[in-house]
Structure 1
Amino acid sequence: MRARKPALLLAEGTHGVNLLILLLRRSRGTVALAVCFGLLTGAASAGLIARINAVLSSGGTLVDRATVLGFAALGALMLGSRIGAQLLLTRLQTSTTFALRDQLSQRILATPLRQLEELGNHRLMATLIDDIQAVTQGLLCIPPLLIHSGIIVGCMTYLAVMSRMVFAALFIFATLGVASYLLPMRHIMGLLRHSRQTNDRFFRDLRSLTQGLKELKLHGGRRKAFLKQELFPTAEMLKQLQVRVSTLHTLTTSWSMSLFFFFIGLLLFVLPGVAPVSASTLVGYTLAVLYLQQPLEASMTLLPMLGAGTVALRHIDTLALDPAGTASEPLLSGAEEAPAPPSRIDLVGVTHAYRREGEDTPFTLGPIDLTLRPGELLFVVGGNGSGKTTLAKLITGLYAPESGEIRVDGRPVTEGDRERYRQLFATVFSDFHLFDSLLGLAVGEKTDKARAYLERLQLQRKVRIEENGKLSTTDLSAGQRKRLALLTAYLEDRPVYLFDEWAADQDPQFKEVFYRELLPDLKAAGKAVVIISHDSRYFDVADRLVRLESGAIVSEESAAGSQQLSPRVVPA
């Protein structure tokens, strides 16, 4: 069944997009209808105030059947339109939040791996957790804000009709109040942006805390330095920023709201001595201003949350993730089966440069000329930092070559078909991730095959595979987890297999099984197999052995003989 492509909520280049625009992109009609309901709520509220004012000014003599029915009708209209606006916008907000989360997940998957690695896991996790939460809370503010806006517009219209002179005075006070609120809000928005940047550092420190537990527990000095120099200062800065935002907003809101009481004092004690004002006008304005306090105060309380949501939305945009719309087809409805096995894959003059941590100059891999053939075991060896894993990511299409090209049966792999090219590979990288489920790989007849592989990998007493492909546990030793990852690779049944230091965590007995039994079996099945390894005692298994040094292939040995290559010289 074809998955429905979500509406593109964050288009490419939409810097400064705000939450209301996000809702409009989702459904303009729903927002327009909700605004109409909000205006109806405001009109009904103004009508109720007018009725109350009329009754109070008459001393209760206007209380007849028509007045009561009119009051009840206005009350029902206000209630119905308020509920209608709230329901419409709440449902739209909920669907927009989940669509945004889904689309963000797709955009992450569509973005080149190198770009994601440069952003860092801590920034991605902060976005997926905090930014989405802030956007959700910001979207939740929009329904009441629109309803409050309708009430404010309705009441202000009523007051303008009642007395233009008094309304002019109210308008001056309202303008002063809005200005005294918006000016500090600019500073608050700056603090929110600073807080969001600090939050990235806080997530980085939390990642160091969770991933460095063993090191921190074993060394009291490092633990103390980490807490005092890294985690606690960042947390303290985040706390101070949040306190400043809260304090500044409280002072600003309190001052702005106090202006309305100043206006009521001016209205009751000063204005009658300056110009003739009827008692009904005084009562009407007093009632309306007091009634307006609740929606105004609520709006001011919600605006910082709306601002935080806008900051989070802009932060998502600054990640420069690839638009989901350009890649949702292969992500959602790409072929589950691998393309036909190729007769050869060639890397021709392929290079890739990147900056390694702690180094000023970029590291360049290549130019690389290499061929993969079915039924062949290719070992890639070399020292740490020689570029083996980078080469593996180039071979598998996770990195795009900066120059040169990859060819499948002589046909160059373009950006448009790189996704399909990646389906040729089953891999177990050194930093692999083990899912809690086999994700559709153990369905029907494959379930029995999966259990057979489980037994061959000597995991049948540790792990069970349920009917839905869920694994009973992944809480295993490092070596056993790698065997479980190998099971997944087996079930994928791709034309090309790549193992990055797979045997590093295996005991001697299972290393022997891997090199002497499992790899030859894959070769006999016609698979092209690339093995990154330091296990020199098993190099005799290789059909070809490629040695890397400083990003260059310096030698290539095969069963038929060896070829010594001149090291590549990288221009300064």
Structure 2
Amino acid sequence: MKISQILSGKLKSTILFIVIFGLFNSLLNGTLLFFINAAVTGRGLAFPEAYKLPLYVGVVLLALVCSRYFQVYMIRLTSNITFEFEKNILEKIRCSTLTEFDALGKENIYTAINDTKSLAHIPEIFMNAFNAMVVVLCCFGYMFWVAPLGGVIILFTMAILVTIYLIRNKGIQKDLNQQRDLQNSYYRYLNDAIQGFRELKINVQRSNNVYHRWIFPNRERNREITNKTSVKYLDNEISGTYSWYVVFGVIMFVLPLIMKTNTATQAAFLVTIMYLIGPVAILITIIPTYNSLKISYERLVIFNHRLSINEGEFTDKDIHHRAESFSEVEFVDVKYQYINSNNKAAAFTISPISLRIEKGETIFVIGGNGSGKSTFGLLLTGLVKPKSGRILLNGNNLLSENITQYRSYFSAVFTDGHLFNENYDKVDLQETNTMLYELVSLLKLNDKIELEKGADRFNHNLSKGQRKRLALIYALLESKPVIVLDEWAAEQDPGFRRYFYTELIPLLQQRGKTVIVITHDDEYYKYASRIIKFNFGEITYDSSKQETVPGMN
């Protein structure tokens, strides 16, 4: 569902309520205004004196109850819209392709989620604006009823003052756009500074560049724009506040010169204008709020559009699907291209490759950095889609409709993989889970991990190599027929690396796993049942077809 559909749907469902409540609320406010003006001007009301106080108290209490009811209603409505907006964005992220996700950038995702909280207040803002508009119309109607010419003069004066405010507000939207772009960049730079803390510590020049050429200039520019925008808002706020004294001056000094008036009429106008201050302030502040909401909305629409093509990728059938017996995966003339986001040109290409991976094989995928090994792993696991060619699982073509079911045959630990903070799969972590603790023993983590007190998860105070071992345990618990390990042994100590190749991989093979290992560890190639070598996006060697490995030392 699109952001606009969620928003319009909520507004349509509440518009009648808003109109009815606004009119009723205005009636109550108008009644209170009549009471106050009658007391100030000395004009009597059209009902007995004995009923004035009970009626006044009744109107105040009714206004209080209605106001509270509406505020509770708006709180719930705002919460519901926030929930639906966030759910919509999270579903789009969940169903996006890896290529789309990588192109978005984490900072844009966090910004989009924050934008949803702003847009969720639109119904409340609309309601306040509608109520304020009705009150303004009622007040001007009252002034026209008391003194038509005076009402025209006050209306003309206030129109001029509001126009001046709008002109002064004109340049703020551009500044807000720049500020949002700066904030996105800042989160990106800050992430580099935090995640790359050690790298910056040992490279003073790079650290100086990151902070003094990127982060600090970004914050300085943000400070300049913030100051400029805040001063513009301040000028409007101050001029708006003192504009009321201009209106009071017109009532006290200009009206008597233009028209016949008396103290009672002036008092009625002054009280009415004082009653107008709140509603007019609401209407005026709608303008900068609208600018901010417009920016948030436009960015969310763009964000939504970039992730819209895969909406609804997951179905109940996909969620409950379990991998059946695995026999083979076949690539037929499969080609893939990384596209440069700036000029749309191919930045890297996997040339058409054809191969078959059969059940029970232990395949080592080798090659230099940038040769295409990891991209092959992404193609194999269905995380990226081929530009051309076919992938077949057990003889069946891989299609968009069955891509999720295809992925259910694979577990993976990526070279930059993420170890989740929570036990999302609801794995039984108690010692009664013999399969889990057998794997813990096999991965030699017996004395390294323990359950966190009061939490259903293991502690993560582990080294990188140990975290990779824990990630492998979780992957094996998925009990999928094929496991892909991308540079898994790179961060293991020499002793455990040898154990991994000489004992653990053969054990996985004995248990019927098809194991795909992306590796540089040439001293252990002999433990593979098959070796595939990549170079510049091409398969230059496949031991199932050749006996020797050209160029291997």
Please report the TM-score for the alignment, with normalisation by the length of structure 1.
0.87
State the shift of 1:413 in Å: 1.5
Aligned to 1:474: 460
Q: Which residue of the partner structure matches residue 172 of structure 2?
A: 188
Tell me the residue number matched to 1:41. 25
SS at match of 2:433: helix
Q: 1:428·1:502 contact (CA, 8 Å) conserved in 2?
A: yes
- Seen in structure 2, the aligned counterparts of structure 1 residues 333 and 464 have a Cα distance that, compared at 3 Å, is farther
SS at match of 2:324: coil
The alignment status of 1:442 with 2:404, answered yes or no, reads no
Partner of residue 521 from structure 1, selected from 494, 507, 521 = 507
Map 1:498-517 → 2, pairs under 5 A = 498-517=484-503
- In structure 2, the CA distance between the partners of 1:23 and 1:34, relative to structure 1 (3 Å rule), is farther
Residues 351 and 144 of structure 1: is their aligned pair in 2 closer, same or farther, counting only changes over 3 Å? same
Say whether residues 1:412 and 2:397 are aligned partners: yes
List aligned pairs for 1:73-84, cutoff 5 A. 73-84=58-69
Contact 2:339/2:346, CA 8 A, preserved across alignment: yes
CA distance in 2, matches of 1:527, 1:469: 32
The offset of 1:477, in angstroms, is: 0.5
**Which residue of 2 is the match for residue 380 of structure 1?**
365
Q: Which residue of 2 aligns with 1:17?
A: none
- 1:272 aligns with one of 228, 246, 256: 256
Pairs within 5 Å for 1:80-479: 80-128=65-113, 130-135=114-119, 141=125, 144-277=128-261, 279-301=263-285, 303-319=287-303, 320-323=305-308, 326-327=311-312, 329-330=314-315, 334-355=318-339, 362-443=347-428, 447-465=433-451, 470-479=456-465
Deviation, 1:535, is 0.7
Q: How many aligned residue pairs are there? A: 546
Deviation for aligned residue 1:189: 1.5
More moved, 478-487 vs 462-471: 462-471
C-alpha distance 501-61 of structure 1, shift in aligned 2 (>3 A) = closer
Specify the alignment match of 1:538 in structure 2. Answer: 524
Q: Deviations over 1:135-165 (max 9, x none)?
A: 4677775554454344334433433444433
Aligned twin of 1:72: 57
- For structure 2, the residue ranges without an aligned partner over 5 or more in a row are none
- Matched AA of 1:188: I
Alignment partners' CA distance in 2, 1:431 and 1:512 = 21
Paired with 2:470 and 2:67, the residues of 1 have a C-alpha distance of 56
Further displaced range: 244-253 or 443-452 = 443-452
Match of 1:495 among 481, 486, 500: 481
1:137–1:461: structure 2 CA closer, same or farther, 3 Å change rule? farther
5+ residue gaps, structure 1: 1-7, 15-20, 566-572
CA contact (8 A) 2:481 2:513 kept: yes
- Comparing 150-159 and 513-522, the one that deviates more: 150-159
Q: CA deviation at 1:199?
A: 0.9
Alpha-carbon distance, 1:522 to partner: 2.3
Answer whether contact 2:337 2:346 (CA < 8 A) is retained. Answer: no
SS in structure 1 at match of 2:543 = strand
Bigger drift between 55-64 and 476-485 goes to: 55-64
Is the 1:350–1:402 contact (alpha carbons within 8 Å) kept by the matching residues of 2? yes
Judging changes above 3 Å, is the alpha-carbon distance between structure 1 residues 91 and 463 closer, same or farther for their aligned structure 2 residues? Answer: same
Contact kept, 8 Å, 2:359 with 2:514, in 1: the verdict is yes
Is the 8 Å Cα contact of residues 90 and 143 (structure 1) preserved in structure 2?
no
Q: State the shift of 1:53 in Å.
A: 1.2
Amino acid at match of 2:37: N
Structure 2 partner of 1:570: none
Whether the 8 Å CA contact 2:107–2:188 is kept in 1: the answer is yes
TM-score when scaled to structure 2? 0.90
Matched, 1:55 2:42: no
Cα distance change, pair 160–341 in 1 and its aligned pair in 2 (3 A) = farther
Q: Structure 1 counterpart of 2:98, which letter?
A: L
| Structure 1 range deviating more: 97-106 or 231-240 | 97-106
- SS of the equivalent of 1:362 reads strand
Residue type matched to 2:525 in 1? F
Deviation by residue 1:201-250 (Cα, 9 ceiling, x = unmatched): 11111111101211222333332332211111101111221222211112
What is residue 569 of structure 1 aligned with on the other side? Answer: none
Q: Does the CA contact (< 8 Å) of 2:423 and 2:456 recur in 1?
A: yes
> In structure 2, do the counterparts of structure 1 residues 496 and 160 end up closer, same or farther at CA, with 3 Å as the change threshold?
farther
Is contact 1:31–1:89 with CA below 8 Å preserved after alignment? Answer: no
Partner SS, residue 464 of structure 1: coil
Moved more, 203-212 or 320-329: 320-329
Q: Which moved more, 1:41-50 or 1:465-474?
A: 465-474
